[in-house]
Amino acid sequence: MCASVKYNSRGPVLIPRMKSKHRVYYIALFSVVLLGLIATGMFQFWPHSIEPSGDWIAEKRSVHDVPAVKLLESSPLPERGDLSCRMHTCFDVYRCGFNPKNKVKVYIYPLKKYTDEYGSAVGGTISREYNELLTAVSESDFYTGDDTKACLYLPSIDVLNQNSLRIKETAQALAKLPRWDRGTNHLLFNMLPGGPPDYNTALDVPRDSPRTFFLVSSQTALHPEFRADLETIRAENGESVLILDKCSNLSDDSPPHRKRCHKNNAYDYPQVLQKWSSVSNPLFLPLIPPQSQGFTAVVLTYDRVESLFRVITEVSKVPSLSKLLVVWNNQNKSPPEESLWPKIRVPLKVVRTAENKLSNRFFPYDEIETESVLAIDDDIIMLTSDELQFGYEVWREFPDRLVGYPGRLHLWDHEMNKWKYESEWTNEVSMVLTGAAFYHKYFNYLYTYKMPGDIKNWVDAHMNCEDIAMNFLVANVTGKAPIKVTPRKKFKCPECTAIDGLSLDQTHMVERSECINKFATVFGTMPLKVVEHRADPVLYKDDFPEKLKSFPNIGSL
């Protein structure tokens, strides 16, 4: 054992060195504890914010250093919120397609200090709960600092507790958010709505809504000024506003409490409320699609290169053609080299499919950018550019219809007690074949992803009836018949032999009657509508010079 020597009056004394080591140890321990206490005290009293670091807050930690925003008394105020807001009414899904792997990205607005004209704070500090919520989002894979790539937006304005809010000023602060857009795709978290004594079930802060309302006011003893306002609205909107009054001239057998009148016209109340201007088919507004957009021709082909090139050449002459898409359905043979394809004025794209399926012609390809699609077979070489252009013009006026050239009919066979497919020329039409037909590209989506039952798989397995399936689908969605255009009835390719096409096989024709019965069973009804008319140009067969006609090359059977 080592020791040190110390001298005193009695002589040398041994002092163990262990005591010296303990002294150093205790001094070091005391120093660490003291420094810890000092650091803790400084942290408690040093100005700081409880918000974590992140892109959604200011770089400086103090809430006193965040940007200040003054809200004027005249600042815009959002409208009252829509309590019946739903995904399809208040949410814009088209903002959510910017990111890979279909990941929803969330943007958090930077922290700001809102004050009124007099410098008083509009909102208090962010609560611990809301801070934890924002922190969880900012630290997740769903957070983005780029507001242009975001699908959802979280304001850094804490509205969890309405009791701590200044309602009007908070609404004005929300309206100042750069991406507010009437509150579209913005999430507001509120746990305590309303105020004492009767707490509401929804936040009272006006927060806008993109939904258009159908307003109904049914009351008695309406104030004259309010009535005058309604009359002003009616005068500005014409027949879009219907004001119903009590009926003065009613028969005795009519219950007066169930009748309302407008310009001597009686309406049953409240049944009249069911007859308001409901939304049209979700595909289309009641407007003609823009002519400048044109149409995309989709040609389904397998191995008939010569006739395919002839079809491409003829279709390319149509003025409204925007793009030509060739669906190459042959997996055992590559398409011709690029140098061999016809040179046309519009883009030409070839898509190679993974399997030989007839349904490939109705896939919603990204290359289809126009609303209008012309489905055409690779052996339809007889249609002229005038016939195709006229068909497109008709489709523009009826964009929810199938507009095509080969007409067909379904009939009820009383002897066999089932439906029958009829390809002979008759006075009626219930289908137009998609070997040459215009339709809206939305039906590609419905055919691929929303076709009822096993119809799509059945078509692919039998290599038949994809055109009949599309007719069933469109008629079932719209409740309308197709439109046959131009008088042409013959669509057989003169150069094609019996082994070139599916439709020339007798078994193929028998299966088409089976298709109609199969599809009617799956749909649970017969949606096809029978009509006895077709669309022709106005001057068709009129004794006018050809140069005065918009579509002179029409008339051949």
Q: Could you tell me the strand order of the sheet in which 348-352 lies?
A: 348-352, 321-328, 295-301, 372-377, 436-440, 403-404, 483-485, 534-535
pLDDT tens-digit profile of 506-533? 677 788 999 999 999 999 999 999 999 8
Q: What is residue 279's predicted lDDT score, i.e. its pLDDT?
A: 47
Q: What is residue 49's predicted lDDT score, i.e. its pLDDT?
A: 40
Q: What is residue 138's predicted lDDT score, i.e. its pLDDT?
A: 92
Give the separation between CA 194 and CA 171, rounded to whole angstroms: 14
Q: What is residue 214's predicted lDDT score, i.e. its pLDDT?
A: 46
pLDDT tens-digit profile of 24-41? 667 777 777 777 777 666
Give the separation between CA 415 and CA 423, rounded to whole angstroms: 19
Q: What is residue 48's predicted lDDT score, i.e. its pLDDT?
A: 45
Q: Which of 14-23, 171-180, 445-454 has the lowest mean pLDDT?
A: 14-23
pLDDT tens-digit profile of 115-134? 888 888 887 678 888 899 99
Q: What is residue 85's predicted lDDT score, i.e. its pLDDT?
A: 66
Q: What is residue 1's predicted lDDT score, i.e. its pLDDT?
A: 46
More confident residue, 389 or 4: 389
Mean predicted confidence (pLDDT) in 393-414: 92
The model carries a pTM of 0.51
- Asked if pLDDT for residue 58 goes beyond 80, the answer is no
- Beta pairing partners, 411: 420
Q: What is residue 52's predicted lDDT score, i.e. its pLDDT?
A: 39
Q: What is residue 211's predicted lDDT score, i.e. its pLDDT?
A: 37
Is residue 185 within 8 A of residue 151, CB to CB? The reply is yes
Q: How many CB atoms lie within 10 A of CB 508?
A: 15
Q: What is residue 204's predicted lDDT score, i.e. its pLDDT?
A: 64
Give the separation between CA 173 and CA 153, rounded to whole angstroms: 15
Q: What ranges do the domains of the chain cover?
A: 3-45, 63-183, 224-275, 293-535
Mean predicted confidence (pLDDT) in 531-546: 82
Q: Which CATH class is domain 293-535?
A: alpha beta
Give the separation between CA 359 and CA 458, rounded to whole angstroms: 10
Mean of per-residue pLDDT scores for the chain: 79
Task: Give the pLDDT band (50/70/90) at residue 220.
Answer: low
pLDDT tens-digit profile of 316-347? 999 999 999 999 999 999 999 999 999 999 99
Output the CA torsion sign for 30, 31, 33, 34.
positive
More confident residue, 543 or 389: 389
More confident residue, 410 or 48: 410
- Asked if pLDDT for residue 5 goes beyond 50, the answer is no
Tokens 């929804």 belong to 202
Q: Which of 84-88, 363-367, 387-391 has the lowest mean pLDDT?
A: 84-88
Task: Give the pLDDT band (50/70/90) at residue 545.
Answer: confident
Q: What is residue 498's predicted lDDT score, i.e. its pLDDT?
A: 47
- Residue 295's contacts (CB-CB under 8 Å, 6 or more residues apart) are 320, 321, 322, 370, 372, 373, 374, 392, 395, 438
- Asked if pLDDT for residue 212 goes beyond 80, the answer is no
Q: Which of 59-68, 165-174, 231-240 has the lowest mean pLDDT?
A: 59-68
Give the separation between CA 496 and CA 500, rounded to whole angstroms: 6
Q: What is residue 391's predicted lDDT score, i.e. its pLDDT?
A: 94
Give the separation between CA 137 and CA 157, rounded to whole angstroms: 15
Task: Give the pLDDT band (50/70/90) at residue 205.
Answer: low
Task: Give the pLDDT band (50/70/90) at residue 159.
Answer: confident
Q: Using a pLDDT cut of 70, give the percent of the chain over it.
A: 72
- Asked if pLDDT for residue 453 goes beyond 90, the answer is yes
More confident residue, 275 or 509: 509
- Residue 380's contacts (CB-CB under 8 Å, 6 or more residues apart) are 311, 435, 436, 491, 493
More confident residue, 471 or 129: 471
- Asked if pLDDT for residue 374 goes beyond 60, the answer is yes
H or E segment and range at residue 175: helix 167-175
Q: Which of 263-267, 355-359, 475-479 has the lowest mean pLDDT?
A: 263-267
Q: What is residue 43's predicted lDDT score, i.e. its pLDDT?
A: 54
Mean predicted confidence (pLDDT) in 11-20: 51
